[in-house]
Amino acid sequence: MEGMRIRTWVGRHLREHLRNFLTTLKEVVFILTLTAIIAIVLYLWQRDLLAPVPHAKVTDIYRTNVILVQASNRSNADAIPADVAPTMQSKTGHLAIVGAINPWQPMVNALLQQETKDSEIIVYGTSDATTTEVAGFLKRLGFHRISVLYNEDIIAGH
Amino acid sequence: MKISSLDTRFHNPKFLAGWVVTRLAEVLAGGILIFAGAMKGTDMALWLHDLSNLHIAPPEYLPWLAVSLPPLEIITGTCLMIGKQLSGARTIAICLLLAFTVVLGFAQAYGLNVSCGCFGKLSGHGTPNYILDMMRNAILILACIVHPAYSRAFAPLNPSALSTSPTEKKRKRNK
């Protein structure tokens, strides 16, 4: 008799916990499904903005009509070999040195004001947050032909 | 969330006060989640950039993570605020906040000096204070836990009293 009562008690509690668990699971699935639908719509809408910034080749910097944006401070720029750095500067119409100047956003804004959104821009600097941050900022401004080039790649001669 | 008039716990002012305070804490946590999600969603590129700096996933998955987290936070926060799908929302909010706390813990341990991106552009890009962010997350997790724990701790002695009695069922059927 006592054993049966215990079994009933355990069964009732187990059923209650299972019901609670299933309710929670159902709600979690509902929220995640809703999120997934919104995420897909958002991804399709912001696809261009979210696409990773491509890497430029060192030879790209010798092309004319390429705007070089140096996303590093002077000490980082010193990492670029002496025979490369002057060439880069002489070949470019514009050169923005950002990173050493804070806030750098207004300066880049002013520099690129005359440029069309189709202009090809190469952001170069050390492979840290600054370079990707500058590239991301230019993307948000609407420039869509942006690539990054790291100092390490320039030194390695890629 | 349904409050039954048969639940005698609500006749006790002390219980009612505690219930309201813990529920308000939960609503506030929901509001903070909505705000965080909205701030991330308004500048998606910056949020993606902050995510990539934290190195929490392979680069090819980062855009998906970036578009998923803000709506998840907004939906979860809304559910917490309005009291719909509450247990699911609580579970997701706690998991989400725990995950953020672990990421911040790793960032602190590895000495990273990047923005956490918790509140989009409002997070600031100066020197981050991960400890403070982790403490904020812990308080939010507590806010999500305390209300159900409080309600359960003062559960009525006879839960069946809250359900519709056979006589009531009969009366409804006759109507």
Say whether both A62 and A121 belong to one domain. yes
Give the C-alpha separation, A52 to A136, whole Å: 9
Nearest neighbour of B75 by CB, restricted to A31, A51, A136: A31
All residues of chain A having their beta carbon less than 8 Å from the beta carbon of residue B71 are 34-35, 38-39, 42
- Predicted local distance difference test score (pLDDT) of residue A22: 94
Say whether both A22 and A96 belong to one domain. no
Instruction: Decide if pLDDT at A11 tops 70.
Output: yes
State how far residue B173 is from chain A, nearest Cα, in angstroms.
26
Contact B89 A31 (CB under 8 A): yes
Number of independent structural domains in chain A: 2
What order of strands is seen across the sheet that includes strand A145-150?
A: A95-97, A66-70, A120-125, A145-150
Q: Which residues of B touch A (CB under 8 A)?
A: 41, 43-46, 48-49, 52-53, 59-60, 63-64, 66-68, 70-72, 75-76, 79, 85-89, 91-92, 114
- Predicted local distance difference test score (pLDDT) of residue A90: 43
The tens digit of pLDDT for each residue in B44-66 reads 877 887 888 788 888 788 889 99
Q: How many CB atoms lie within 10 A of CB B43?
A: 18
Neighbour-count burial of B8, counting CB atoms closer than 10 A to its CB (0-12 exposed, 13-18 middle, 19+ buried): middle
Say whether both A57 and A129 belong to one domain. yes
CATH number at residue A75: 3.40.250
Say whether both A39 and A58 belong to one domain. no
The tens digit of pLDDT for each residue in B110-163 reads 888 778 888 887 876 667 888 999 999 999 999 999 988 888 887 665 555 555
The tens digit of pLDDT for each residue in A112-139 reads 777 788 888 888 777 666 677 778 778 8
Range of the domain at A80: 52-156
Give the C-alpha separation, B123 to B139, whole Å: 18
| B92-97: long-range pairs with CB below 8 Å, 24+ | B92/A28, B92/A31, B92/A32, B93/B29, B93/B30, B93/B33, B93/B140, B93/B144, B94/B141, B94/B144, B94/B145, B96/B33, B96/B69, B96/B72, B97/B137, B97/B140, B97/B141, B97/B144
Residue for token digits 């308004």? B42
- Could you give the ipTM of this predicted complex? 0.82
- The counts of H helices and E strands in chain B are 6, 0
Say whether both A83 and A25 belong to one domain. no
- Predicted local distance difference test score (pLDDT) of residue A157: 65
CB B67 within 8 A of CB B44: yes
State how far residue A35 is from chain B, nearest Cα, in angstroms.
5
What is the arithmetic mean of pLDDT over A13-36?
A: 93
Nearest neighbour of A136 by CB, restricted to B46, B63, B88: B46
Task: Report which secondary-structure segment, H or E, holds A4.
Answer: helix A2-45
Instruction: Decide if pLDDT at A26 tops 70.
Output: yes
The tens digit of pLDDT for each residue in A33-84 reads 999 999 999 999 887 777 778 888 877 777 767 777 776 654 444 444 444 4
Say whether both A66 and A136 belong to one domain. yes
DSSP sequence for A90-137: HH-S-EEE-SSSSS-HHHHHHHTTTS-TT-EEEEEE-TTHHHHHHHHH
The three-state secondary structure class of B87 is: helix
Say whether both A108 and A39 belong to one domain. no
Say whether both A58 and A41 belong to one domain. no
Neighbour-count burial of A52, counting CB atoms closer than 10 A to its CB (0-12 exposed, 13-18 middle, 19+ buried): middle
| Residue that finishes a domain, picked among A30, A45, A60 | A45
All residues of chain A having their beta carbon less than 8 Å from the beta carbon of residue B63 are 43, 50-52
> Nearest Cα to B95, choosing from A10, A35, A50?
A35
Contact B75 A28 (CB under 8 A): no
Nearest neighbour of B44 by CB, restricted to A25, A31, A46: A46
All residues of chain B having their beta carbon less than 8 Å from the beta carbon of residue A29 are 88
What is the arithmetic mean of pLDDT over B64-69?
A: 92
What is the arithmetic mean of pLDDT over A134-150?
A: 82
| Residue A157 per-residue DSSP state | T
* Phi then psi dihedrals of residue B77, to 5 deg: -60, -40
Q: Which residue of A has its CA nearest to B95?
A: A28
Contact A49 B64 (CB under 8 A): no
DSSP sequence for B94-123: HHHHHHHHHHHHHHHHTT--S---TTGGGG
Say whether both A22 and A78 belong to one domain. no
- Predicted local distance difference test score (pLDDT) of residue A91: 44
Contact A42 B88 (CB under 8 A): no
| pTM of the entire predicted model | 0.70
Kindly give, in sequence order, each residue whose CB lies less than 8 Å from that of residue A137, ignoring residues fewer than 6 positions away.
A105, A108
pLDDT band at A32 (very low <50, low <70, confident <90, very high): very high
CB A137 within 8 A of CB A98: no
Q: Which residue of B has its CA nearest to A44?
A: B67
All residues of chain B having their beta carbon less than 8 Å from the beta carbon of residue A132 are 49, 52-53
**Tokens encoding A107:** 């300066």
